[in-house]
Structure 1
Amino acid sequence: MDGQEIIDLYAAGETKFSGVNLSGANLYAADLIGIILNGADLHGATLIFAYLSRANLKKVNFVGTKLGGANLNQAWLTGANFHNADLHGASLQGADLRNADLTLANLLDANLMLADLRGADLSGANLTGACLRGANLREEKRIYLANLRGAILHKADLQGSDFQGADLAKVNLSGANLREVNFRGADLREANLSGADLKGAFLTEANLVGTNLQGANLAKVKLERARAIEADLSGVNLHSAVMPDVNFNKANLSGANLCFTRMNRADLSRANLSRANLSEAELVEAYLARTNLSEAILSNANLIRAEMSGANLVGAYLRGATLPDGKIGT
């Protein structure tokens, strides 16, 4: 069946085309709203600017398909294969993409607001400038586990999205809008989040080992029990962050804003906190062995029962701080 034939049949009222072979078909700007094409073969087809909203496209083969600017809003795309497909500027708002294969897909500037991406494989995909506000990529009992390893999400808008338990290792999220995003238990090892806005994000128990967060906005984030060993947090804004039991071992926090943070029992051993602002910070029972606190501001910080053996306090400002032995710094 060729492209014109299916367009004519659809115009005549036929909507059911399950399993048809449309590989290489030209469906440029075709109006196919609500069409049923589940299991169809559309690999290498041209669907640029096509209208496929609310279409049934479950398990469709879109490998190498051109879908730039296409409207796939609220479409059923579970199990669809978009490997190496071009979805530049496509709209997939509210689409069901559970278990879809989007590896190496081009989703530049795509609209994925409120899309269900649980279990989707986005490894190596280009999501630069894409909007994923309210999208769902969370893991649920390992039935659905989103994979975004190596994906490019530079300057993407993901505000309020759910990435709980997602695999985001080595993902490029630099400059992205990640406000109030749920990263609980997510794997962000060696990811690039430099300059990203994570204000109010949830990173509880997240894996941030070796992650680049340089210059990021982490104000009011939740980082309880997160692992950020050897992470680069230089110049970050962590004002009022909640971080009990966080592991910052060997992390770079030089010049960071840590005012009013709660870091009780945090592991900051061998971390670089030179020139960091820790005024009013809660560091009760924190582990600061061999930590570099040179020229750091610790005014009114609470360091009661903190372990500070071997810490470098050269030039540190401790006025009003409660020291490990209960004495007040002058």
Structure 2
Amino acid sequence: MPINHRTLTLPLVMLLGIGPALADEHLLADQVRAAAAAAHGAKLDLSGKDLSGDDLSGLDLSGANLAGTDLSHANLHGVKLVDSNLTGARLVNADLTFAWFIRANFTRANLHGATLQTVVTSSGMKNTKDQAAKFTEADLSDTHTTVHFSLYDMRGANFSHADMTVVMANQSMGLLRTEFNGADLDGANFAAAGLGHVAFHFARLHGANFQGADVTKAEFVGAYLDNADFTGAKTDGADFEAATLTGVKGLKIAPR
């Protein structure tokens, strides 16, 4: 039976011979892969479904509706999430190594403990505004992260206890690090995060919380840090050149 729908919803798996509608059941990886293959470019609707622990590595879920979907502990290695909607999705301890984030929407998503390494964030060498993903109020606490978040909307995001510190001994091919250059991080929480060598050039960080964070040799060049809190933070070698520091707490350098 030909499928002409622009969006392939889960009840249509019955038409594909995959089995009954599984709105309230855990979907197996093979079922998701079969539905994705049958979509033929249509947008797959997996919103609110339970895909926790599934091996979805390498799948193209571009444009998929994953709002509220449970992807906890899932293997999302290399998954394409271009233009996908992950609003409120649960990705606790998921592996997103080499995943594609271009224009993805992670608003209020829970990525606690997830692995985000060498993520694809643009079709070129640098991030562009038109390809930026959105992480407004997302939970990225305790994540292991090396991502170019530059130009992203990450207002109110939670990075507490996240590990982004660069291990210089592993940098023989050049500096590979997390970057937030030009990102909107107003109200973001970096409490107790490892941020060594992370770049925040010209980022918006109004009221951001860096209490107890390690920002050793981090770069805040031109950043907007009004009312940010660095109480108890380790700031050795951090660069605050031309940063706006009005009302900043906990810094032992004179405001410029």
TM range (shorter): 0.7 to 0.9
Percent of residue pairs identical: 33
CA spacing shift, 1:87–1:12, aligned 2, 3 Å: closer
Name the structure 2 match of 1:101. 134
CA spacing shift, 1:199–1:41, aligned 2, 3 Å: same
Q: Deviations over 1:245-284 (max 9, x none)?
A: xx3xxxxxxxxxxxxxxxxxxxxxxxxxxxxxxxxxxxxx
In structure 1, stretches of 5+ residues that fail to align are 139-144, 219-226, 229-246, 248-330
- TM-score of the aligned structures, taking structure 1 as reference length: 0.60
Higher relative contact order (CA 8 A, sep 6+): 2
Alignment check: 8 A CA contact 1:96 1:117 kept: no
Question: Does residue 156 in structure 1 map to residue 197 in structure 2?
Answer: no
- Determine which structure has the larger strand proportion and give its number: 2
Aligned ranges 1:93-172 → 2 under 5 Å: 93-97=117-121, 99-113=132-146, 115-133=147-165, 134-138=177-181, 145-172=182-209
CA spacing shift, 1:46–1:200, aligned 2, 3 Å: same
In structure 2, stretches of 5+ residues that fail to align are 1-8, 11-25, 122-126, 166-176
Name the structure 1 match of 2:31. 8
Secondary structure of the residue aligned to 1:112 is strand
Rg larger in structure: 1
Residue 14 of structure 1, CA deviation: 4.5
Question: Does residue 73 in structure 1 map to residue 105 in structure 2?
Answer: no
Distance 1:48 1:199 in 2: 36
Question: Does residue 54 in structure 1 map to residue 71 in structure 2?
Answer: no
CA spacing shift, 1:187–1:28, aligned 2, 3 Å: same
Question: Does residue 26 in structure 1 map to residue 69 in structure 2?
Answer: no
Distance 1:162 1:198 in 2: 13
Partner amino acid, structure 1, of 2:30 = I
Secondary structure of the residue aligned to 1:4 is coil
Question: Does residue 178 in structure 1 map to residue 211 in structure 2?
Answer: no
Name the structure 1 match of 2:19. none
Q: Deviations over 1:113-142 (max 9, x none)?
A: 2x010111111111110122320111xxxx
Aligned ranges 1:176-325 → 2 under 5 Å: 176-213=213-250, 228=255, 247=256
1:90 to 101, 108, 114: 114
Number of residue-to-residue matches in the alignment: 212
Q: Deviations over 1:182-211 (max 9, x none)?
A: 111011111001111111111110111110
CA spacing shift, 1:132–1:27, aligned 2, 3 Å: same
Distance 2:86 2:66 in 1: 5
- Determine which structure has the larger helix proportion and give its number: 2
